[in-house]
Amino acid sequence: MLKLTKYLKPYLTGVFLALALLLVQALCDLNLPNYMADIVNVGLQQGGFEHSSPEVISPESFNSVLSYMSGEEKDLVQSRYIPGGSAQSAPPYYPELGESVYRRLPNLGESTVAELDAAFDSAAQKMGRNQTGVMLARQFYEELGIDIKVIQTKYILRVGAFMLLITLIGGIAAVLTGLIAPRVSAGAARDLRRDLFNKVEQFSHQEFDRFSASSLITRCTNDVTQVQMLVGMGLRMMCFAPIMGIGGIVMALRKSASMSWTIALAVGVLLCVIIVVVIVALPKFKIIQQLIDKLNLVSRETLSGLMVIRAFSAQKREQARFDAANAELTGTSLFVQRVMVTLMPVITLIMNGVTLLIIWVGANRIAESSLQVGDMLAFMQYAMQIIFSFMMIAMMFVFVPRAAVSGDRISEVLDTGLSITDPEAPREFIPSLKGTVEFRHVSFRYHNAEADALSDISFTAKPGEMTAIIGATGSGKSTVANLIMRFYDVTGGGVWVDGVDVREVSQTNLREKIGYVPQKGVLLSGTVSSNIKYGRSEADGEEVEKAARVAQALDFIGESPDGFEMKIAQGGTNVSGGQKQRLSIARALLKKPEILVLDDSFSALDFKTDAKLRKALREHTRETTLIVVAQRVGTIMGAEQIIVLDKGKIAGLGTHDELLKSCPAYYEIASSQLSEITGGTINE
């Protein structure tokens, strides 16, 4: 999973910007309870007065309060308070009071204000009154006729406006984070899908034997989506939750360290619940992804083989297969959801329980005058923020394990070593040997197979000649075609094209020389024209028509009112097998290859179309090396050389007439397909 973090590098600016905005949002959210406490404590309970030392005080009250202070306190207070209207004073806050009052200078530092507050608090206690210094200061203001309600209202409005401003800043930060995080996650997911697709495109048949198509589809879609969700939510929750949790703990301790045990208790219970949930649910996430693979496999097989399923009336059997896979996935998903759904009620119970506990403990502290109401409310807010942070972390425990499984599955594909790679210094083809294909003592064994599929195969295919390969099913005919295309690498000997071992040239250069028609014709969604032009998109209409004519495809193309613009469904399901083969041949011909490999590409054609196509091919490919893998003897009778394969070995090599006389295996194949044997030859 950690290997995939490199996909965030192009978006580091967005990541850091999102983190900065999250920090701003967290700071705003963490400071709001403080201001709420100030409104309750100062605005409501203290009438809007923040300090025990009054800004203005009458001479009589000033002299009276001094009598309750110590010598140091008197010196401090007398040095800070000066007669109103003095030249040393700043513009007065209370001009209606005239110059007959004393007032404290407004530009004092916090430390000095704290010292003055302590002096007045001490004096209030010595006066024997059951009140704080702030309440004493309030009496001084009332004595001077100052409107207390106006001061209280102004304070509440000022702090409230500041809270609104902080809320607005936090909201803007949250909105911007909500815009940036999805862009980062979507961009990283796009790059991840692109690299996955590019990697899969480089897979040889050996890698495809390891990963099923349904699994690769799941990894490119569902697994990438899981990682994308983790990145998107992670930028917002995984970073925001720790900031809020740690910040909330610090702020709560500043409000009341003696009540911190309530938060510790709640967090401890919550962590135990999260650990239990993770232990129970974590193993199921990997199983869920595997079950999605299985469901996709069943769905893909059913859809691709729908005609066969209907032909054998096996719909109920396939429905049972699908229901079994679907039920298994549903059951596992429901188990995980049931486990996860218990998390929210438990967290809600913990939050409500800790709220009641804080109120009960806080009420006792308030009764003892060791805690203010606003501080208790702020502590409660911080406790909720802390628990909510752990709840977000718990939610991430839902996404992280599943995304980690998906990330590992993606990394498994990306880290898969390619069995077929280009050489570091590719060689160039030898022009004088253009179109020559040579097998030199080739042996090949499939991965994990017990025996060789091909053994000591040697032959040469030359330009302008047709080299045919025939043999029983499983004799290795298609394997020869795959080795020419370098879909597999030989395990012994070598395949040489234009005088160079195919392992010493780049795969692109090799395949540009070869036109290939696979055993199973493959068409892509689009039109007839787009499918024929797939290998050479710059070809004009005349070239497309010529290729279709040689491939004997013009007859059914002309029957459609759309002609070459006739729509081809996904997989070519709206054309017959023979039409699909002819379009595949036309696509290979349009490429104008030096080497044309036809892997049993006439199997779906009738004999008449087969004969016409063979004749047109020989005329059109006079300078092309034509390699034909076939099951029909009639298709290859005119070949310059026929290679007969039997159990992976060459049982015979020569012309049709030569093999009838010298190769029993070929004679057996020919006699089973052709009707008459005369003079050592077999006639159709």
Burial class (CB in 10 A: 0-12, 13-18, 19+), 540: exposed
Q: Rounded to 5 degrees, what angle do the CA atoms 562, 568, 574 make?
A: 100
Indicate the helix (H) or strand (E) that contains 38: helix 12-38
HEC readout, 122-181: HHHHHCCCCCCHHHHHHHHHHHCCCCHHHHHHHHHHHHHHHHHHHHHHHHHHHHHHHHHH
Provide the token pair at 631.
Answer: 């099951």
Bridge partners of residue 629, in order along the sequence: 469, 599
Is 46:135 a contact under the CB 8 Å cutoff?
A: yes
Mean pLDDT of 259-264: 85
Each residue's pLDDT tens digit, 57-109: 888 888 888 888 888 888 888 888 876 654 344 455 666 666 666 767 666 67
Q: How confident is the model at residue 367 (pLDDT cuts 50, 70, 90)?
A: confident
Pairwise CA distance, residues 295 & 268, whole Å: 40
DSSP state of 91: S
CATH, domain 2-36+156-414, list 1.20.1560.10, 1.10.290.10, 2.130.10.10, 1.20.1730.10: 1.20.1560.10
Please identify which residue in the block is written with the tokens 């009641």: 356
- Count the neighbouring beta carbons within 10 Å of the beta carbon of residue 67: 10
Q: Which residues contact 284 (CB under 8 A, 6 or more apart)?
A: 332, 335, 336
Q: How confident is the model at residue 460 (pLDDT cuts 50, 70, 90)?
A: very high
Pairwise CA distance, residues 527 & 545, whole Å: 14
Burial class (CB in 10 A: 0-12, 13-18, 19+), 484: buried
The fold for domain 429-513+594-684 equals Rossmann fold (3.40.50)
What pLDDT was estimated at residue 603? 79
Length of the chain: 684
What pLDDT was estimated at residue 180? 92
Q: Where in the chain is the domain with CATH 1.20.1560.10?
A: 2-36+156-414
Average pLDDT for the chain: 85
Is 145:91 a contact under the CB 8 Å cutoff?
A: no
Q: Which CATH class is domain 517-592?
A: alpha beta
Pairwise CA distance, residues 243 & 262, whole Å: 20
Q: Where in the chain is the domain with CATH 3.40.50.300?
A: 429-513+594-684, 517-592
Mean pLDDT of 453-477: 91
Each residue's pLDDT tens digit, 586-632: 999 998 899 999 988 887 788 888 888 888 988 888 889 999 998 88
Bridge partners of residue 644, in order along the sequence: 470, 652
Which of 569-573, 577-581, 626-630 shows the highest mean pLDDT?
A: 626-630
Each residue's pLDDT tens digit, 491-529: 999 999 999 999 999 999 999 999 999 888 788 888 999
- Provide the 3-class DSSP secondary structure of residue 93: coil
Each residue's pLDDT tens digit, 294-337: 888 888 778 777 777 877 788 888 888 889 888 988 988 888 88
Which of 26-40, 256-270, 398-412 shows the highest mean pLDDT?
A: 26-40
